[in-house]
């Protein structure tokens, strides 16, 4: 049996972090860290971690993800999404760790009307998107062996997310009003986690090129709107509350959302031979996992 790979997973208490733990393969030695036991904004803490531990691969699932709050808290968003990426990229370079960094569809604001591949130019709007774009640039500038994996509309049975909010509202309200003019690709965090483990397994077989930062898009297949996504969530959950479609301007938020940010994950699926699922198929599993974990229905 080959020696297990040492993997450092940051953001362990986030929904992706928890999904990576749920899907952990047997042949890796995982070190899951939270902000309280390894704050990536603190270079001293990172150095101390690497002095005591080894990481062949780092999966950076840590981020500041409060999109609307970021407008009032620019410093916090940039600290976690830009400075922290710079820090972990420097540590990865020094310690010969391959870095897989997670980014977002929020970089694609305006002007898109068909699924977005890795060739498209980013157009970040809002503090959250700008801070994530700055993090990507920090990693590209570091020019270490690394990958940026952009994902979209992430949801799971863990923590707060759109699927769980819609199920709660569907149970509490007589009607749920949901935006019907924003398009994207939902991504079940379990599928993303399995994809990342598959990526790690492939890297083990084929050493990544020095100094190269690869870009990948990852979502479940298919394009939908928040409205259609909600009708599917409630349908699968067996909740009969009516869903009323509304337009973006009827539900103003501090941060503008992309009107179309569906990702095209073909490069990831092909390169890592990953069986990407349609979002509806993945959603059935997610709703069932939520039912099992919380006994909510």
Which residues belong to the active site?
A: 128
Find the shortest distance in angstroms from Cβ 272 to ligand NAP. 18
CA 192 to chain centre: 8
CB 270 within 8 A of CB 216: no
Q: What is the DSSP letter of 107?
A: G
Q: Which stretch binds ligand NAP (CB under 6 A): 47-55, 97-105, 245-253, 287-295?
A: 97-105
- Is 62 or 286 the residue whose CB approaches ligand NAP more closely? 62
CB 58 within 8 A of CB 97: yes
Angle at 41 between CA 37 and CA 45, to 5 degrees: 45
23 binds ligand NAP (CB under 6 A): no
- Is 15 or 97 the residue whose CB approaches ligand NAP more closely? 15
Alpha helix positions (H), the chain: 15-22, 43-52, 74-78, 84-94, 127-142, 162-172, 189-205, 226-237, 266-271, 279-294
Q: Which stretch binds ligand NAP (CB under 6 A): 34-42, 116-124, 200-208, 245-253?
A: 34-42
Among the listed residues 28, 59, 80, 233, the single contact to ligand NAP using CB under 6 A: 80
Q: Whose structure tokens read 């690869």? A: 214
Neighbouring CB atoms inside 10 A of 143's CB total 13
CA gap 67, 74 in Å, rounded: 10
Among the listed residues 13, 117, 118, 214, the single contact to ligand NAP using CB under 6 A: 13
Pick out residues in 251-280 that bind ligand NAP (CB under 6 A). none
91 binds ligand NAP (CB under 6 A): no
CA gap 203, 197 in Å, rounded: 10
152 binds ligand NAP (CB under 6 A): yes
Pick out residues in 169-228 that bind ligand NAP (CB under 6 A). none
Q: Which residues contact 197 (CB under 8 A, 6 or more apart)?
A: 20, 23, 24, 25, 28
Among the listed residues 5, 28, 40, 147, the single contact to ligand NAP using CB under 6 A: 40
With residues binned 3-state (H G I as helix, E B as strand, rest as coil), the percentages for the chain, rounded to 5, are: 45, 20, 40
- Is 15 or 198 the residue whose CB approaches ligand NAP more closely? 15
Find the shortest distance in angstroms from Cβ 87 to ligand NAP. 9
Among the listed residues 104, 220, 231, 261, the single contact to ligand NAP using CB under 6 A: 104
64 binds ligand NAP (CB under 6 A): yes
Q: Which stretch binds ligand NAP (CB under 6 A): 60-68, 193-201, 275-283, 289-297?
A: 60-68
Among the listed residues 5, 77, 84, 223, the single contact to ligand NAP using CB under 6 A: 84
Find the shortest distance in angstroms from Cβ 17 to ligand NAP. 6
CA gap 70, 127 in Å, rounded: 6
Q: What is the DSSP letter of 276?
A: P
- Is 34 or 241 the residue whose CB approaches ligand NAP more closely? 34
State the residues that interact with ligand NAP by CB under 6 A. Answer: 10-11, 13-16, 35, 39-41, 61-65, 80, 84, 102, 104-105, 132, 151-154, 159
């Amino acid at each position: 049996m080959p020696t297990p790979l040492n993997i450092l997973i940051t953001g362990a208490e986030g929904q992706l972090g928890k999904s990576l733990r749920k899907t952990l393969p047997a042949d890796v030695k995982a070190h899951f860290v939270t902000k309280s036991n390894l704050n990536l904004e603190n270079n001293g803490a990172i150095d101390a971690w690497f002095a005591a531990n080894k990481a062949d691969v780092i999966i950076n699932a840590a981020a500041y993800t409060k999109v609307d709050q970021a407008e009032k808290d620019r410093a916090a968003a940039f600290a976690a999404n830009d400075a922290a990426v710079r820090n972990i990229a420097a540590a990865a370079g020094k310690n010969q760790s391959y870095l897989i960094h997670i980014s977002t569809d929020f970089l694609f604001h305006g002007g898109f009307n068909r699924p977005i591949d890795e060739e498209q130019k980013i157009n970040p709007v809002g503090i959250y998107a700008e801070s994530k774009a700055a993090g990507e640039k920090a990693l590209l500038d570091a020019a270490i062996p690394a990958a940026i994996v952009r994902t979209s509309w992430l949801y799971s049975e863990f923590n707060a997310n759109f699927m769980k909010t819609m199920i709660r509202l569907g149970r509490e309200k007589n009607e749920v009003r949901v935006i019907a003019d924003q398009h994207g690709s939902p991504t079940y965090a379990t599928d993303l986690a399995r994809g990342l483990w598959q990526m790690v397994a492939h890297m083990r077989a084929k050493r990544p090129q020095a100094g190269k930062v690869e870009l990948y898009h990852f979502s479940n297949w298919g394009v939908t709107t928040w409205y259609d996504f909600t009708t599917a969530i409630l349908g699968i959950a067996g909740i009969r509350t009516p869903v009323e479609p509304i337009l973006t301007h009827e539900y103003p938020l501090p941060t503008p959302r992309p009107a179309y940010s569906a990702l095209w994950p073909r490069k990831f699926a092909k390169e890592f031979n990953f069986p990407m699922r349609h979002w509806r198929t993945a959603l059935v599993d997610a709703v069932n996992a939520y039912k099992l974990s919380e006994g909510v229905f």
